[in-house]
Amino acid sequence: MSYQNIIAEHEGHLGFITIDRPNKLNALNKATIQELHEAFVSLEEDKDIRAIIITGSGEKAFVAGADISEFADFDSGQAKILAAKGQKNLFDLVSKLSTPVIAAVNGFALGGGLELAMACHIRVASDNARMGLPEVSLGLIPGYGGTQRLPQLVGKGRALEMITTGGMINADQANSYGLVNHVVSQEELLSFCEDLAKKIARNSPSAIGAAIQAVNANYDESVNGFEIEIDAFGNCFGTEDFEEGTSAFLEKRKPNF
């Protein structure tokens, strides 16, 4: 499928999404959010795809936030709809995909950009990356899940410092906070993420989907994560992947999922 604001591709077991509005530092306007929704749904439905890498076009930005020009004249009701739709169609969607998504954070990840990276399952930053939630400098708060996901990843105190100062942290600080898992050079970023994605792709897709669901349950107060884990663990035993994984181990060969 071809899009106006993003590029979606796949090669082997890997899907690649590039947000492609470099002149606007890849800011997320409504059209881009809709295209991202469609691209993620389509990659999730493709059973050949076992991991997805998302990055930003150009050398400067992953995503510099929601597109400020689009909501500058919104009233409160319109803003609530914008946040609710965005959370449902993109940010929650990504976090709940059973295909792991790696954010290759290649520059500014601000506001909605950092919120998108945080909705992904794994984050890797290039050494020039700068991250922050600057919304309070605009008289706003984060609306795409930032007030919830940032404390989950870095703890309440650090999250509140980042949110109330609106300041940016660099890649090394983000790494020490646990906001990203790795920092690599700009040149190595995509190949590093591909290597990570290929390691994931060697494992059982059905087990990985169940693992993501169980880990997510830890952050959902409406369910008991331990019960979700027991249930998902049990369900693994009826799968072809379980049959293949255990047989391969006993036959001293690599599994072929």
Contacting range for ligand COA; rule: CB under 6 A; set: 19-27, 36-44, 211-219, 245-253: 19-27
Cβ proximity of 225 and 231 under 8 Å: no
Select from 196, 151, 145, 143 the least CA-distant residue to 177.
Answer: 151
What is the helix (H) or strand (E) element at residue 55, kind and residue range? strand 51-56
Residue 109 touching ligand COA (CB under 6 A): no
Extract the tokens encoding 257: 């999922």
Residue 64 touching ligand COA (CB under 6 A): yes
Output 167 or 225, the one with its CB closest to ligand COA.
Answer: 167
Residue 2 CA to residue 163 CA, distance in Å, equals 36
Residue 67 touching ligand COA (CB under 6 A): yes
Output 83 or 212, the one with its CB closest to ligand COA.
Answer: 83
Q: How far is the CB of 142 from ligand COA (least distance, A)?
A: 8
Output 134 or 245, the one with its CB closest to ligand COA.
Answer: 134
Report the catalytic residues.
115, 135
Cβ proximity of 140 and 90 under 8 Å: no
Instruction: Specify the DSSP class assigned to residue 193.
Output: H
> Which residue type, as a one-letter code, is found at position 254?
K
Residue 68 touching ligand COA (CB under 6 A): yes
Q: How far is the CB of 37 from ligand COA (least distance, A)?
A: 19
Residue 65 touching ligand COA (CB under 6 A): yes
Q: How far is the CB of 127 from ligand COA (least distance, A)?
A: 17
Q: Which of 40, 108, 192, 257 binds ligand COA (CB under 6 A)?
A: 108
Burial class (CB in 10 A: 0-12, 13-18, 19+), 248: middle
